[in-house]
């Protein structure tokens, strides 16, 4: 299968998954206690108000017709209105999503910068005392709840050693968020810690697998040093599973951002989702679920594309 056909197939699969996601979100919307009208208008809404709302929103039509109306609204960017903030959900997401993307991308970049060299170094020093120490530290970081790690960092770096503020910068724009870079340090480190543990383990395992390949033995037989073999021959091949893991880690990133943003009062999608859950703002909740689901599909698609660029053998093994 050529690269073009493989990518076209993946695009088709992504479109089908997004279509299924819209059906699931539509079903969730109609599974609210009392229906969407009750969820939006609240428990004190009268039967007359609910009937009027259903007529205005087309909720008195058959379910298939309602779904295509809902799908048309999504394609126009209309995700409904927040009944607690009295703003369009799409506008709220447009305001918050870039901030979450900045936070999660910074966490991922920091994690990869640390995890990739650490994982390769562990593979080179496998079964050494240093390898065991780093493995133990990684397991501790991976098993530590994000909120607990964040609280520890806040206690240490705002009370004992006051280097950073306990709250992330707030503001309606990215410029206002970037105006206080010191406030981003603790949220980024908190979210990146567990990712470092995961990615370093994947990188170590992938490097060890590649070190046993024939091309590595051939390079060593030709007189190449261990460092040269790692950099020239092993590094690129070992990135494939890490890139794949990064794509599938998108929902974990958003899930972690919910905790991190609430903990550090960072005005992103996570905090928006948290506040909506506290106030039972169902349109905001379902809008966030839809956006996160689509971002997950796009993340896995991007990971597959990067894999084919790093290792063209991927498309043949999956065809």
CATH, residue 172: 1.10.3720.10
Q: What is the pTM of this model?
A: 0.76
Radius of gyration from C-alpha coordinates of the chain: 24
Residue 71 in any domain: the answer is no
Instruction: Find the domain containing 139 and state its range.
Output: 103-279
- Confidence class for position 42, pLDDT limits 50, 70, 90: low
Give the pLDDT confidence score for residue 54 in this predicted structure.
79
What's the structural domain count of the chain? 1
Give the pLDDT confidence score for residue 181 in this predicted structure.
85
Residue 145 in any domain: the answer is yes
Token digits of residue 38: 């009750």
Residue 233 in any domain: the answer is yes
Give the pLDDT confidence score for residue 85 in this predicted structure.
78
Query: What CA–CA distance (Å, rounded) separates 242 from 84?
Result: 41
Give the pLDDT confidence score for residue 175 in this predicted structure.
80
Query: What CA–CA distance (Å, rounded) separates 249 from 257?
Result: 12
Q: What percent of the chain has pLDDT over 90?
A: 4
What is the mean pLDDT of the segment spanning 119-126?
84
Mean pLDDT score of the chain: 80
Residue 5 in any domain: the answer is no
Give the pLDDT confidence score for residue 224 in this predicted structure.
67
Residue 315 has pLDDT above 70, yes or no: no
Residue 171 in any domain: the answer is yes
Residue 299 has pLDDT above 80, yes or no: no
Query: What CA–CA distance (Å, rounded) separates 234 from 246?
Result: 19
Residue 212 in any domain: the answer is yes
In sequence order, the β-bridge partners of residue 88 are 81
Residue in the block written with tokens 């901030």 = 99
Give the pLDDT confidence score for residue 80 in this predicted structure.
78
Residues in the chain: 319
pLDDT digit string (tens) for 235-250?
A: 777 777 777 777 777 7
Residue 275 has pLDDT above 70, yes or no: yes
Query: What CA–CA distance (Å, rounded) separates 252 from 149?
Result: 16
Give the pLDDT confidence score for residue 226 in this predicted structure.
67
Residue 314 has pLDDT above 60, yes or no: no
Weakest mean pLDDT among 5-9, 117-121, 178-182, 273-277:
5-9
Residue 7 has pLDDT above 80, yes or no: no
pLDDT digit string (tens) for 58-92?
A: 777 888 888 888 888 888 888 877 877 778 888 88
Give the pLDDT confidence score for residue 40 in this predicted structure.
66
What is the mean pLDDT of the segment spanning 198-218?
79
What is the mean pLDDT of the segment spanning 148-158?
90
Residue 85 in any domain: the answer is no
Query: What CA–CA distance (Å, rounded) separates 316 from 312?
Result: 8
Question: What DSSP string runs through the chain?
Answer: --HHHHHHHHHHHHHHHHHHHHHHHHHHHHTSTTHHHHHHH-TT--HHHHHHHHHHHTTTS-HHHHHHHHHHHHHTT---B-TTT-SBHHHHHHHHHHHHHHHHHHHHHHHHHHHHHHHHHHHHTTTSHHHHHHHHHHHHHHHS-HHHHHHHHHHIIIIIS--S-SS----SSHHHHHT-THHHHHHHHHHHHHHHHHHHHHHHHHHHHHHTSHHHHHHHHTT--HHHHIIIIIHHHHHHHHHHHHHHTHHHHHHHHHHHHHHHT--SHHHHHHHHHHHT-HHHHHHHHHHHHHHHHHHHHHHHHHHHHH-THHHHH--
Q: What percent of the chain has pLDDT over 70?
A: 87
* CA-wise closest residue to 79 among 286, 242, 241, 269: 286
Query: What CA–CA distance (Å, rounded) separates 141 from 153?
Result: 13
Residue 136 in any domain: the answer is yes
Q: Contact 236/221 with Cβ under 8 angstroms?
A: no
Residue in the block written with tokens 């995700």 = 79
- Confidence class for position 310, pLDDT limits 50, 70, 90: low
Question: Residue 88: what are its φ and ψ, rounded to 5°?
Answer: -60, 140
Name the range with the highest mean pLDDT among 28-32, 129-133, 208-212, 302-306. Answer: 129-133
């Amino acid at each position: 299968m050529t690269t073009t056909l493989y990518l076209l197939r993946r695009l088709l699969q992504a479109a089908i998954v997004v279509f299924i996601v819209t059906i699931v979100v539509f079903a969730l919307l109609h599974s609210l206690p009392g229906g969407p009208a009750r969820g939006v208008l609240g428990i004190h809404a009268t039967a007359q108000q609910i009937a009027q709302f259903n007529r205005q929103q087309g909720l008195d039509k058959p379910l298939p017709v309602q779904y295509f109306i809902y799908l048309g609204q999504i394609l126009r960017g209309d995700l409904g209105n927040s009944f607690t903030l009295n703003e369009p959900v799409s506008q709220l997401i447009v305001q918050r999503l870039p901030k979450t993307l900045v936070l999660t991308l910074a966490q991922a970049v920091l994690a990869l910068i640390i995890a990739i060299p650490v994982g390769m170094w562990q593979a080179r020093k496998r079964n050494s005392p240093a390898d065991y120490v780093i493995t133990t530290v990684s397991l501790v970081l991976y098993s530590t709840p994000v909120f607990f790690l964040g609280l520890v960092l806040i206690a240490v770096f705002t009370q004992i050693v006051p280097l950073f503020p306990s709250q992330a910068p707030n503001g309606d724009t990215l410029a206002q968020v970037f105006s206080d870079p010191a406030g981003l340090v603790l949220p980024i480190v908190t979210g990146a810690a567990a990712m470092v543990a995961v990615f370093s383990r994947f990188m170590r395992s992938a490097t060890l697998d590649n070190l046993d390949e024939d091309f590595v033995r051939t390079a060593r037989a030709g007189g190449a040093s261990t460092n040269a073999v790692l950099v020239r021959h092993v590094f690129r091949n070992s990135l494939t599973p890490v890139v794949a893991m990064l794509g599938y880690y998108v929902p974990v990133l958003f899930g972690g951002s919910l905790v991190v943003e609430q903990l550090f009062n960072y005005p992103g999608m996570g905090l928006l989702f948290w506040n909506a859950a506290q106030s039972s703002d169902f349109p905001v909740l379902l809008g966030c679920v839809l956006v996160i689901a689509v971002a997950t599909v796009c993340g896995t698609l991007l990971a597959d594309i990067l894999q084919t660029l790093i290792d063209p053998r991927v498309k043949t093994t999956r065809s």
